[in-house]
Amino acid sequence: MIKAGIVGGTGYTGVELLRLLAVHPAVELAVITSRGEKGIKVADLFPNLRGRVNLAFVEPDDAVLKECDVVFFATPNGTAMKMVPTLLKAGVKVIDLAADFRLRQLVDWEQWYGMPHACPELLAEAVYGLPEVNRDAIRKARLVANPGCYPTAVQLGFLPLLEAGVIDPESLIADAKSGVSGAGRKAEVGLLLCEASDSFKAYNVPAHRHWPEIRQGLATVAGRPVDLVFVPHLTPMIRGIHATLYATLTDPNVDLQGLFENRYAAEPFVDVLPPQSHPETRGVRGANQCRLAVHRPRNGKTVVVLSVIDNLVKGAAGQAVQNMNLMFGLSESAGLEGIALLP
């Protein structure tokens, strides 16, 4: 059994990791840390885990975490980078669900996250954990940077088009909407029921931290810089992301449906819907799944891709487990075969 530890397990991503790992056939949950909740039983904080997780929260302790085979960081940005070097030296594999290792360029990371990086020497080694792009590198990795939620939905939607070279990489638009759980488990006025319910708004239009991550991934696939407009929105639902993606076609004869179906035919967690489909966030709720639909309105020069994921699963914890499976040579779908919840 793989001994797994979770650092920062009191947020929505942490409890989602616990939910998935508690029933994983090859994982033993060894430790879960939280300074603020030290001594409290996990099931007392998250009653859905009663009878499944018998651990109590403990303070982070390098000596304890070094006994794990893999450690997941579900912590705020800037936390994992202070502990990762010690764990790697001890032979522990690390999956960081925050942004500490997502950007390859140090200057970009420090500009966007507003702090000096504690271990910049590891930025080049960290593997970006989008299996649909970096599967082989993930298998060999000891440090994986789990992608952000918006970047997962957006990149999977644009990926086939950029790989095939059938769109103008300087005309990319991503209009994305997320449920409020994407903001984390915290007390904030804008996330209160009376503030977020029955309302819909864009936010961080001039500069969102996921923009450089998305741009980096798309440029890597395209083999050249891309021009991306990314506009996130907050929607009055708990979980889910819906990204509507726009690009200008450069090949008017391309079979868009065939392109997407062929690209993702072997992918266990990407589902290309039939022509003229419109995926819904409720169709992926609780599942490690990205559902895509591709459209060409009025047979014009604009291609529209619809991409939906659960921001807490394929956009966070589920993708982290998918990466762990690859890192340890397990079946990629181990522990991730649950069906989305309806209604």
Q: What is the pLDDT of residues 289-337, one digit of tens each?
A: 999 999 999 999 999 999 999 999 999 999 999 999 999 999 999 999 9
Question: Does residue 93 share a domain with residue 49?
Answer: yes
At residue 265, the pLDDT reads 98
In-domain check, residue 237: yes
Question: Does residue 160 share a domain with residue 290?
Answer: yes
Residue 167 has what DSSP assignment? B
Residue ranges of E strands in the chain? 2-7, 27-33, 70-73, 93-96, 127-128, 143-145, 172-178, 201-202, 228-234, 241-248, 270-272, 290-295, 302-309
Arithmetic mean of pLDDT, 172-182: 94
Arithmetic mean of pLDDT, 90-117: 97
Print the domain residue range for 277.
150-311
H helical segments located in the chain: 12-21, 42-45, 62-65, 80-89, 106-113, 131-140, 149-164, 193-196, 210-222, 256-263, 318-327
| Buried b or exposed e, range 270-284, using 16+ CB within 10 angstroms | bbbbeeeeebebbbb
In-domain check, residue 320: no
In-domain check, residue 200: yes
In-domain check, residue 195: yes
Radius of gyration, CA atoms only, the chain: 20
Q: Is the pLDDT of residue 71 over 80?
A: yes
Query: Which pLDDT tens digit goes with each residue over 132-163?
Result: 999 999 999 999 999 999 999 999 999 999 99
Query: Which pLDDT tens digit goes with each residue over 194-250?
Result: 888 888 999 999 999 999 999 999 999 999 999 999 999 999 999 999 999 999 999
At residue 65, the pLDDT reads 97
**How many other β-carbons are positioned within 10 Å of the β-carbon of residue 48?**
12
At residue 189, the pLDDT reads 80
Q: Is the pLDDT of residue 183 over 80?
A: no
Question: Does residue 117 share a domain with residue 40?
Answer: yes
CA 284 to chain centre: 14
In-domain check, residue 142: no
Question: Does residue 121 share a domain with residue 8?
Answer: yes
Question: Does residue 155 share a domain with residue 74?
Answer: no
CATH number, domain of 18, equals: 3.40.50.720
Please give the span between the terminal C-alpha atoms of the chain, in angstroms, as a whole number: 35
At residue 36, the pLDDT reads 86
Question: Does residue 49 share a domain with residue 116?
Answer: yes
In-domain check, residue 145: no
At residue 294, the pLDDT reads 98
155 class by beta-carbon count within 10 Å (0-12 exposed, 13-18 middle, 19+ buried): buried
In-domain check, residue 99: yes
Residue 136 makes CB contacts below 8 A (sequence gap 6+) with none
Q: Is the pLDDT of residue 191 over 80?
A: no
Last residue of a domain, one of 125, 158, 190: 125
Question: Does residue 33 share a domain with residue 91?
Answer: yes
Q: What is the pTM of this model?
A: 0.96
In-domain check, residue 47: yes
- Residue 5 main-chain phi, psi, to 5 deg: -120, 150
Catalytic residues: 149
Between vectors from CA 288 to CA 285 and to CA 236, what angle results, nearest 5°? Answer: 30
Question: Does residue 192 share a domain with residue 113?
Answer: no
- Euclidean distance between CA atoms 250 and 171, whole angstroms: 11
Question: Does residue 168 share a domain with residue 274?
Answer: yes
Average pLDDT in the chain: 96
Q: Which of 136, 75, 152 is nearest to 327 (CA)?
A: 136
Question: Does residue 185 share a domain with residue 307?
Answer: yes
- Euclidean distance between CA atoms 289 and 240, whole angstroms: 11
- Label the pairing between strands 302-309 and 290-295: antiparallel
- Euclidean distance between CA atoms 155 and 25, whole angstroms: 30
At residue 15, the pLDDT reads 94
Task: Please count the structural domains in the chain.
Answer: 2
Q: Is the pLDDT of residue 343 over 90?
A: no
Question: Does residue 32 share a domain with residue 95?
Answer: yes
CATH number, domain of 159, equals: 3.30.360.10
Question: Does residue 155 share a domain with residue 120?
Answer: no
